[in-house]
Structure 1
Amino acid sequence: MPMHPIEVDDDVYALLQQHARPFVDQENDVLRRLLGLDGSPTAVANRVSGGDLRALIDAKLLAPGDELVHIQTRKGLTHRAVVTADGNIRLPDGSTYAKPSPALKACVGHDINGWGQWIHAQSRESLQSLREALRERQAD
């Protein structure tokens, strides 16, 4: 694929550095990942349908920009993520996930129930609780 040189200011370059994987990413890699153009199955699916949190956004139970938190008490770690407008979960490194469990697995390093363990910072409810509230609304 042909490459085209571009110029970016210091602020944009600093942002790219924040989202880069050290010793792995070039600027183009970071931009492709942030824009969902990295070719991963998740990125392709997200561009087509949006993430699993989309229904919660549509029901006004979540909003784009809302924060998700998972606390590993014994390890003293707090993991944070942000809900995107298309219903995905964006981690601080810029990676996005269509589903809560793979997003949380990327943080903690092992399989984990993201629906049950991600907490919506604004309401202090788990994603599972919000999903159940949506199902109750739909049943009425």
Structure 2
Amino acid sequence: MAIRTIEVDDEVFAFLQQHCEPLVDTPNDVLRRLLLSGGSEEPQEKTVPTRKRLLRRPGALLPLINAGLLAPGDVLRHKQPRRGMVHEVTVTPRGWLKLADGRSFSTPSRALAEQTGTTINGWTYVHVPSGKQLYVLRHQVERS
């Protein structure tokens, strides 16, 4: 397979960054997924998965699911009282966090950064069914 070099402007590069999984996807992976496989962004969620989706790593929440502290479909919530905003995500079976717009992220911090527009510790999401923050649940798994 030949490797070609292309140049993209800042706006296109920012678009690629918004649709990639950091330290996993290359720009080529993002373009291939968006242009050649129907534009879907949901890893492990399609009924006919592509090879790339099968190779995707589990999300950061999978150990919490395996420990029985989270379940697929559980809602996580983060409140920003000063802004009067509430952000919610849903836990996927592979331990990813799915936003209401369908985008999925493997880590809580990346998902929350997308929702708030700023870098923020996503382990502060509250697990709605238990009322506990993710970092508390993570410490429970680490201690066992």
What does 1:21-40 correspond to in 2, within 5 Å? 28-29=38-39, 32-34=40-42
Give the match for residue 134 of structure 1: 141
User: Is 1:49 matched with 2:29?
Assistant: no
Q: For structure 1, which runs of at least 5 residues remain unmatched after alignment?
A: 1-24, 38-43
* Cα offset, 1:82, TM superposition: 0.2
Give the match for residue 122 of structure 1: 129
TM-score by length of structure 1 reads 0.67
Contact 1:46 1:98 in 2 (8 A): no
Cα gap change, 1:47 to 1:62, in 2 (>3 Å): farther
Candidates 114, 117, 139, aligned match of 1:106 = 114
Contact 1:36 1:47 in 2 (8 A): no
How many residues align structurally?
A: 103
Give the match for residue 63 of structure 1: 71
Give the match for residue 76 of structure 1: 84
Write the distance in 2 (CA, Å) between the matches of 1:132 and 1:113: 15
Q: Quick one: which amino acid aligns to residue 133 of structure 2?
A: S
CA deviation map 1:66-98 (0-9, x unaligned): 000000001111100000000000000100000
TM-score by length of structure 2 reads 0.65
Q: Quick one: which amino acid aligns to residue 65 of structure 2?
A: I
Question: Share of identical aligned residues, percent?
Answer: 36
Q: For structure 2, which runs of at least 5 residues remain unmatched after alignment?
A: 1-33, 46-51
